[in-house]
Amino acid sequence: MAKNNKKYIFITGGVVSSLGKGLASASIAALLERRGIKVNLLKMDPYINVDPGTMSPTQHGEVFVTDDGAETDLDLGHYERFTSLTLTKTSNFTTGRVYLQVIENEREGKYLGKTVQVVPHITDEIKRRIHLATQEADLLLGEIGGTVGDIESLPFLEAIRQFAGDVGKENVLFIHLVLIPYISAAGELKSKPAQHSVKELREIGLYPDIILCRSDREIDKSILEKISLFCNVSKHNVFHSIDVDTIYKVPLEFHKQGFDEKITELLGMWTGRPSIQDLEKVVYNYENPLRKIRIGIVGKYTELIESYKSLDEAMRHAAIANQVKLQNIYIDAEDLENKDEVEKILSNVHGILVPGGFGQRGTEGKILAVKYARENKIPFFGICLGMQLAMIEFARNIAGIKDANSEEFTQDGSLIVHYMKGQSKDGVKGGTMRLGAYNCHLVDGTNVKRIYGDANISERHRHRLEVNNDYLNKLKEAGIVVSGINKDLNLVEVIELPDHPHFIGCQYHPEFKSKPFCPHPLFYSFIKSADQLAVSKENEERL
């Protein structure tokens, strides 16, 4: 076997799902990258959907989009936010994707008439994709979704067991994340579920090198030592991850425990100490805000905040950079459809944001929110559908196009927004949108050009509908400014209103490219404008 110089870390979870494996993976990667190691990350999802693109946000959370147009798991957002990486379609795959490829291979005769089985064909395809994700890196962190014991994750666990044998166990590290629950009736933390989880992992041939213990409170040293003893893992290899008030403290908390140093020691990767000043600056600004601002986010997936995960984080990045404390107020758009409620609900916010989404439900409430922001000079930011609804509101109330609407909602009236060429609401839904990075040219003299400080930008898209150019001249004559266009496709990308503190809409999703130590300029500008309104209101109250 040829010498293998690459290193691999596989992270599994036990006891319950949603423990934060993605956040742990991102935090570890943040520290290792800051030690000078070239890292990459991979999320392996056991569900049978080919990708999360057609899954309801309330079922699975946000769909994260990469530059190359892949619709992926929201954990890839954590990976990109905590590191300098720009991930691709090779950074996330599902059971559905694996089985689809294996079936296609079988149909093409690539297995030479053999019986196709989970072992070796499914596990071989998983291993192939792991190698593919490692090509440009020295170290790969691979996260397996779900929980040990799930029937869906068994092929992935078997694949990484085999993988360690293929590349040499000295090049592979297994980290197992477990919950240490607090039992109120007993008044103490319990380690037994974690012990059983490790036992189940060992029964299928995986032996964790490191155990990471999650809890909502401090874990006594005796419990960590008990886990070490019963799980046959050195006490120096048992770490804890306690709830913190901001996720951007997690890498620093890991570093304090020597977690990253232990990883490099076990893998034989000797490096200097990580440069973490940028993360420390983020935490300092978070802990020392100058003011508090309230942003009204008018959407229809408000019952699950993870539906807007990247959006939520991008807002926090901008708030941290502006050194303000952010209170996101999620407003169900349907609550605004009663016009009498609009003033009562929105009068107390310093900014209004209408995010992307699909479907007609709640859109009239969102349009009323746009109108309120425009008329009352409240900083406004519309993203994707939010920009389209801003165009419709302007068309109806300023440009005199009273029946302005979107083809997504109706075939009648003046369709200010329509489907892209070749698209319709009846088409195949999976992976058929304008997805991924597209270029945009910003017009000289516009507010958006000033915010970006550049004429040519690239941003990520996820949508089927566009502004209808047939109505563009009439809208421009009424006063709307098209400040960004895609020259290749002749499409509207960004709009703004003059004589307004901050009224910007963009067709793309800027939240996908924001990082805590490098906030996206549009979010930074929006939060800055909201902060200025907050200061103005404070001064008025003093008078």
Catalogue the active-site residues: 384, 509, 511
The span from the CA of 359 to the CA of 419, in Å, is 13
The span from the CA of 424 to the CA of 454, in Å, is 34
Pair type for strands 172-179 and 210-215: parallel
> Going by C-beta distance under 8 Å and a sequence separation of 6 or more, which residues neighbour residue 475?
391, 394, 395, 399, 416
- Beta-carbon count within 10 A of 261 CB: 16
Picking from 47, 92, 42, 40, the residue whose alpha carbon sits closest to that of residue 69 is 92
User: Dmax over Cα atoms in the chain, in whole Å?
Assistant: 84
Residue 329 is inside which H or E element, if any? strand 324-332
The span from the CA of 81 to the CA of 408, in Å, is 32
SS3 track for 52-118: HHHCCHHHHCCCEECCCCCEECCHHHHHHHHCCCCCCHHHEEEHHHHHHHHHHHHHCCCCCCCCCCH
* Residue 477 exposed, middle or buried by CB count within 10 Å (0-12, 13-18, 19+): exposed
For 80, the token pair is 């990109």
CB-based contact 141:42 (threshold 8 Å): yes
- Beta-carbon count within 10 A of 294 CB: 15
> Going by C-beta distance under 8 Å and a sequence separation of 6 or more, which residues neighbour residue 310?
62, 64, 74, 77, 509, 511, 512, 514
- Asked if residue 120 has a cis previous peptide bond (ω within 30° of 0), the answer is yes
